[in-house]
Amino acid sequence: MIDKPDHKPKTRRGAIDPNLHFQASLLSEALPFMQHYDNQTVVIKYGGHAMGDERLARLFARDVVLLKQSGLNPVIVHGGGPQIGGMLERLGVKSEFAGGLRVTDAQTIEIVEMVLSGSINKQIVSNIGRHGGKAVGISGKDANLMIARKTERRTVLDPDSNLEKVVDMGFVGEPEQVKPHIINVII
């Protein structure tokens, strides 16, 4: 067995460690907010670009665990545009965008679901678990959590011909109804 050196902060006799003083001050300021929002649900949008940095992903997971420990019920709604784009590229599937949205055909929607539900969702759940939290990953399809209506065709300017064209957006939709019952059961 190897003895580890004592890493406790050295302070003058009777002096308060500045770090502990800062933490106590922070907690005393946060306490009224923690009490006010106790057991409230907070929805956090976690974008695909933010997920690209492993260090930020760890910090995000740690902060989610801290929110739960503080009495909140964090619910994460995540994106994954860059990760979807990367997988489509690796599989040789060309993406088309119209009005800032990805035109999503049957092949693309399979890949989108694979990336969002099978990869990103699992990574987030795993990161939260590594930081001492408990998380469950679900999709908008699970228990009919989300009902969407198909996005109308869009008229966009074709950059090659400089003419307007009508584009069918495929499986792109607009949320019409969210049924949070399953989330409330999990929380």
Q: Which residues pair with 45 in a beta bridge?
A: 77
Residue 137: both structure tokens together: 């990953």
Backbone torsion region of residue 124, taken as left when φ is above 0, otherwise alpha when ψ lies between -120 and 50, otherwise beta: alpha
Regarding pTM above 0.75, the answer is: yes
pLDDT computed for residue 136 by the predictor: 97
d(CA 147, CA 149): 7
Write the pLDDT tens digit of every residue in 70-89: 899 999 999 999 999 999 99
Fold observed for domain 39-186: Carbamate kinase (3.40.1160)
Sequence-ordered list of residues with C-beta below 8 angstroms from that of 34, at least 6 positions apart, any chain? 70, 71
For 147, list phi and psi in degrees, rounded to 5.
-115, 130
pLDDT computed for residue 13 by the predictor: 60
Q: How crowded is residue 42: how many other Cβ atoms within 10 Å of its Cβ?
A: 13
Write the pLDDT tens digit of every residue in 133-142: 999 999 999 9
Counting as low any pLDDT under 70, the low residues of the chain are 1-16
Q: H or E element: which one contains 109?
A: helix 106-115
d(CA 85, CA 98): 15
